[in-house]
Amino acid sequence: MRSTAEPAAAAATRDAANVVALERLTSADPVLVAVGPAGDVVPGFTAETILTSGAPLPWEAYTGGQRRAIVGGVLYEGLAATADEAEERLAAGEIAIGACHDLGCVGSLAGIYTASMPVFVVENRAAGNVAFCNSFEGPSRKRLNYGVYDDDVRATLRFLQDVIAPVLAEAVRLTEGGIPLAPIMRRALTMGDELHSRNTAATLLFARALFAPLLDLERRLPDEVREAVRFVSDNDYFFLRLSMAAAKATADAARGVEASSVVTAMTFSCREYAIRVSGLGDEWFRGPLPTLEAKLFEGFTEDDVELMGGESVINETVGLGGFAQAAAPALQDYQGGSVERMVARNLEMYEIAVGEHPTLRIPALGFRGVPVGIDVVRVVETGITPTLDIGVAGRMGGQIGAGSARAPLECFEAAARAYAARYDGAGVEARPNASA
């Protein structure tokens, strides 16, 4: 779809650039190559760094659960003895707050990274770039990334750091080449996952990939291996963080394509939603928080909901999650809606995508490839915004439900204006938001 106001030459240039970006998105080969502390494996990470979700904000702009989570990260890392001291050091700039994406990371919900926290290292072998994601914290509603830090959360984080991560790190090392993630993701889509709010099949397939190295390790570390197997197999969402790192490595490969209008990152904080566009450098285009439709856990109401950030929408950026809803009919039981509506929303995403993935396919749509390559121009022309699958946080912290959301049109309009100004296009005429 093309605006009649856009000069033909500019449109042809954009189309050609988007083909390049699409090829990079669809040819990615993400491989888990290591597990290690963020301070050791993430370039630029310091002992006094706390990463969080969203486009960069000053400390005073963070509120609610995201602010509590940042303070919790400071306390966990031992950079302050009390919450008040943490607030003071953050306000003074003695502890650096960074945006996850700026260091090649992605964060779930509040997205807290500290130097000692273990992260998955995923290399896109097709492009040579690397991305990182930290570990799923477990099934408890109380998690640091959901704005809670107490003794129980601290114990869970220590367990991940001291028990689970070393076993997984050694298991990955024993594979002598890493664990390819693309085959797991392809198969999981045919087994009922959309690789955002449902990762049941992918987690089991990943556990299977660990069988051989874990059997080798079991002779030396029997107790630790049993704990690691139990943790991975008991937590259906374990693979989510691996898919996020794979998606980040995939999306980053499409950055910097001159004249491309393809989205290469989506993120939100407690304040705003933001996107990056391939042909527009590292600038974040910001808009309001997304609208949300949620199925809440028993005992909670809409008044309890708080958006405190999230970067798992990197999966939607590369054609997963809300862009593959039709692959996961069981989601209706978890996040509400109906199979029919999920299919309709999925089909709608093809209207704003540059192409279809050649290997990530949806059985319910006749094995049609997932829509991939969100085009800001098409979003503005159609008024259709990306649909997102997300977890729902509560005002008092913790997860209180799950649902779907719509990205705000405003950040796409801002990006389209910047694109037109940079590439001498006449721009596009925005339609009323058609998303439902």
pLDDT digits (tens, 9 = 90+) for 145-170: 999 999 999 999 999 999 999 999 99
Share of the chain above pLDDT 70, in %: 96
Order of strands, sheet of 179-180, starting from the edge strand that comes earlier in the sequence: 105-106, 129-134, 118-124, 30-37, 179-180
pLDDT at 116: 97
Q: Report which DSSP code applies to 160.
A: I
> Is 262 within 8 Å of 301 (Cβ atoms)?
no
pTM above 0.85, yes or no: yes
| 202: pLDDT strictly greater than 90 | yes
Q: What domains sit in the chain, N to C, each tagged with a CATH number?
A: 8-26+258-422 (3.90.1700.10), 30-245 (3.90.1710.10)
Distance CA 274, CA 396 (A): 25
104, 351, 352 from 432: Cα distances, Å? 34, 15, 15
| 234: pLDDT strictly greater than 80 | yes
Distance between start and end Cα atoms, the chain: 20
| 364: pLDDT strictly greater than 80 | yes
Distance CA 239, CA 204 (A): 9
pLDDT digits (tens, 9 = 90+) for 111-131: 999 999 999 999 999 999 999
pLDDT at 1: 43
49, 80, 82, 181, 193 from 85: Cα distances, Å? 16, 6, 5, 42, 43
Burial string for 384-399 (b: 16+ CB within 10 Å, else e) reads: bbbbbbbbbbbeebbb
> Is 17 within 8 Å of 257 (Cβ atoms)?
yes
Helix-then-strand count for the chain, H and E = 15, 16
Q: How confident is the model at residue 433 (pLDDT cuts 50, 70, 90)?
A: low
Mean of all residue pLDDT scores within the chain: 94
- Closest C-alpha among 355, 382, 261 to residue 14: 261
| AA identity, residue 181 | L
| 194: pLDDT strictly greater than 90 | yes
pLDDT digits (tens, 9 = 90+) for 394-408: 998 889 999 999 999
pLDDT at 377: 97
> Is 95 within 8 Å of 83 (Cβ atoms)?
no
Mean pLDDT on 78-86: 98
Q: How confident is the model at residue 9 (pLDDT cuts 50, 70, 90)?
A: confident
> Is 60 within 8 Å of 91 (Cβ atoms)?
yes
pLDDT digits (tens, 9 = 90+) for 248-274: 999 999 999 999 999 999 999 999 999
**Helix axis angle, 182-189 relative to 238-252, nearest 10°?**
120
| 176: pLDDT strictly greater than 90 | no
